[in-house]
A and B are shown apart, each in its own frame.
Chain A
């Protein structure tokens, strides 16, 4: 059953992080990303990683699921790290190891890799603890000021939520059509790429026809239930902030402040020591 795996990577639980308002989670993720890029040294990065670990602990998501998200970008991480090492432009006083490799180059590559990994792990916490539906709600609510400049926020959110809810239906349909064509002797596994692509035609065409038919019917169903996209529309689900969200917000502020302090601290470290000993 294809539909079961396409429900996104949401990990069901009722943890502290799960129950945060989706808007808060989105904003805090943005804050976290800014934090990572603010950190200018390993100390700052370690501080933001500590913050991330805290979030993972309070999300109740097994660390394995979080680490899985890295797998997808591992290649990218290694690739950028290698480029960084190879194209490092040495400054005076850098320690040369061999060929074009410098110690400082290695350090900067490691720093970048760690930054990327923290970034992806942080984002995956959001998708692991938030259902696609509430994510959509959160985005809609955050974008709502754009309504003032006539940006169709509601329509966008509706399109997103319909797309989300259609995934299991279309996944089932795809599986059924694939099976039906397999039963008629279709072979999707052998031959070269062109042959394989051609083999998909008997799946894609029925799927497309069916998607249009479904879209047509859904349109009728929406009309029948008085959809007009007009301004009179009210909203049943209201996102409300709670103490929990405030706590999460404060913790993030503290972590952010820590990272900034660590930045300043290291930049001034020499001057600081010079003052004491001088």
Chain B
């Protein structure tokens, strides 16, 4: 308890720390938001809750890491991971997901959970269980007596995440495929009646999700570290964010992603870093509680 109070005290003693916490939070939150956006897409369009979301992220990270090990420039990893993970996503869709779309919630959860375990283990066998990262070799900028540090690599990573998110938004808004995806999300049967090949839309959506995750992972490996079994922590955050923001609410997903990033950083400053993930899960509970109360207010009786 003393430590908690002491930590809160530090926030007031050194107000600049708040800025640092928020900046750190926003930077990690941007990547959570990417993974969450992919999840929202798949969830909304196909009603599949992909528990392997985080493992796609980590797989993308390993694609990029592998490239760097073989002498390619690190920044190339992001587009390559996007493309490779697109392909892997497509294969996974054809092998597994297409069989569970029409089934109930439990089947799809079970299938993607199995997928998550398999992916983690395959990565473990291929790349070993050590943590890996890619060092871009860029310097770090320091402000305010060194209290605020902005590694240029992180800035590049966040910039790439933002442009990827922007690209996806424009794509969804203005391309034919984007329209088809949105139409399928609204009403799959109606879309089919109107001549949209929903099977193709599903395959495309899942591959797109996988590719977004892959690119996020390629950014993460440049800024933080990856390990074959880290997927779950990204999956959890993605679920928290999507639950908080709701499906089909892209600005909401981004805001929730950044918010959760920042709140987690505050949580880990105040309660200790061991409680960082607990803060995320607590937030999920609060959001669910709030949603429940909100729904109760609107509850109507069916006659």
**A and B: partners?**
no
Which residues from chain A sit less than 8 Å from chain B, CB to CB?
none
